[in-house]
């Protein structure tokens, strides 16, 4: 499954290049030269070779690493915990580096201690070396929230069974493609975790033969629904100064970097290279045209072309991945050009709120997605 967003060729790609320069980390000159000009699997393999064979540290050394990798205020005092922090607000609690660490792994509630969270859970790679000490996916988090998440995949949860004090959610996944239990971090850190996952999928490419995997990954290879969701998170929560600083700090310890922090555009060049090439955003059999008008208020027309007759489903999702409306469901359509009008309403007939929406066209074996922007009057 591909995540195809028609605006990447112009606005989005330029935006990510701008953000990359604005919140820039400092890779050594020539660090990414072997990846120049590559796309798709070739680019991912080149990046793997660049960041492979990093310097390993011991499990106990992770505690000391947090003093530079996850120092909230730059004074080696307060932990930067993405499971309790609330960007732009006063967090419900904070931890002192060292003093509040918990090596037992247990807590009776939030706000007691912090420990080492493998954002890509250890059980997914048999708690094996060197993944179990790779700082690019290990972060300090509240012990209790860590234990509540367990080894559940990340996802989006519209009806949570439990909500942490900072708003992280645990419950049935509402993102299309997975319905089991999932853990949803807050919006302000979704991009951080997405880029952690793109790193893991690339750093351990081809080194995952004995990994049990999970609902999110077949070994180190992201499953289609997870890939698509994480690209959405990568878009909605761009690289921050926090991440570029952490990238530099981890590099000082491990001697490798997270390419998706240094070059956010690599996500698109690997997972959907056709979306950043000139011309229409096409697959081998389907073309999904930008909706007209866009931005729009009220109604908009969605055009698509089928080179041959196909069973088609067209749905609309909001930016959180929640289904808004099904416009066509498993309908056999003839080859040629088609136009479809979306009234800007939900499945129940209620006017949708202004914001970003994704139109998804699915045929057997393919999925194409484009971005639409609804504005208020």
Cis peptide before 173, with omega less than 30 degrees from 0? no
Cβ neighbours, 10 Å, residue 196: 23
Q: Where are the domains of the chain?
A: 8-276, 287-374
At 107 the pLDDT is 95
At 362 the pLDDT is 83
Domain 287-374 bears CATH identifier 2.60.40.4070: yes
- 71-101: b or e for each residue (b if 16 or more CB lie within 10 Å)? bbeeeeebbbbbbbbeeeeebebbbebeebb
99 in Cβ contact with 67 (< 8 Å):
no
For Cα atoms 237, 248, 42, give the angle at the middle one, nearest 5 degrees: 70
83 in Cβ contact with 142 (< 8 Å):
yes
CA distance 123 to 260: 24
At 323 the pLDDT is 87
At 235 the pLDDT is 83
SS3 content of the chain, % helix, strand, coil (to 5): 30, 25, 45
pTM (predicted TM-score): 0.72
At 25 the pLDDT is 59
286 in Cβ contact with 363 (< 8 Å):
yes
Within the chain, which residues score under 70 in pLDDT?
Answer: 1-25, 273-285, 320, 365, 377
């Amino acid at each position: 499954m591909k995540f195809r967003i028609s605006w990447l060729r112009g606005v989005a790609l330029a935006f990510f290049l701008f953000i990359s320069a604005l919140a820039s980390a400092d890779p050594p000159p020539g660090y990414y030269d072997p990846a120049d000009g590559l796309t798709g699997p070739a680019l991912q393999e080149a990046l793997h070779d660049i960041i492979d064979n990093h310097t390993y540290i011991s499990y106990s050394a992770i505690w000391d690493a947090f003093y530079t990798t996850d120092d909230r205020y730059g004074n080696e005092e307060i932990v930067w915990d993405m499971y309790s922090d609330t960007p732009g607000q006063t967090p419900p609690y904070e931890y002192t580096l060292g003093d509040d660490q918990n090596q037992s792994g247990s807590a009776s509630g939030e706000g007691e201690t912090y420990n080492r969270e493998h954002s890509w859970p250890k059980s997914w790679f048999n708690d094996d070396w060197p993944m179990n000490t790779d700082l690019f996916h290990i972060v300090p988090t509240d012990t209790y929230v860590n234990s509540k998440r367990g080894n559940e995949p990340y996802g989006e949860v519209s009806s949570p069974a439990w909500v942490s004090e900072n708003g992280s959610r645990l419950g049935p996944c509402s993102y299309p493609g997975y319905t089991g239990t999932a853990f949803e971090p807050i919006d302000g850190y979704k991009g951080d975790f997405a880029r952690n996952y793109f790193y893991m999928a690339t750093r351990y490419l081809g080194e995952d033969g004995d990994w049990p995997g999970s609902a999110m990954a077949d070994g180190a290879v992201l499953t289609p629904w997870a890939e698509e969701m994480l690209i959405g998170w990568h878009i909605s929560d761009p690289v921050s100064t926090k991440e570029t600083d952490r990238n530099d700090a981890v590099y000082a310890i491990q001697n490798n970097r997270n390419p998706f922090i240094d070059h956010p555009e690599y996500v698109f060049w690997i997972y959907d290279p056709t979306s950043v090439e000139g011309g229409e955003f096409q697959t081998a059999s389907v073309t999904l045209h930008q909706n007209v008008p866009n931005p729009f208020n009220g109604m908009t027309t969605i055009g698509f072309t089928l080179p041959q007759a196909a069973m088609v489903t067209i749905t609309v999702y909001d930016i959180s991945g929640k289904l808004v409306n099904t416009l066509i469901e498993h309908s056999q359509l003839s080859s040629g050009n088609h136009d479809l009008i979306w009234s800007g309403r939900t499945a129940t007939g209620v006017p949708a709120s202004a914001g970003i929406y994704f139109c998804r066209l699915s045929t057997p074996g393919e999925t194409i997605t484009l971005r639409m922007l609804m504005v208020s009057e």
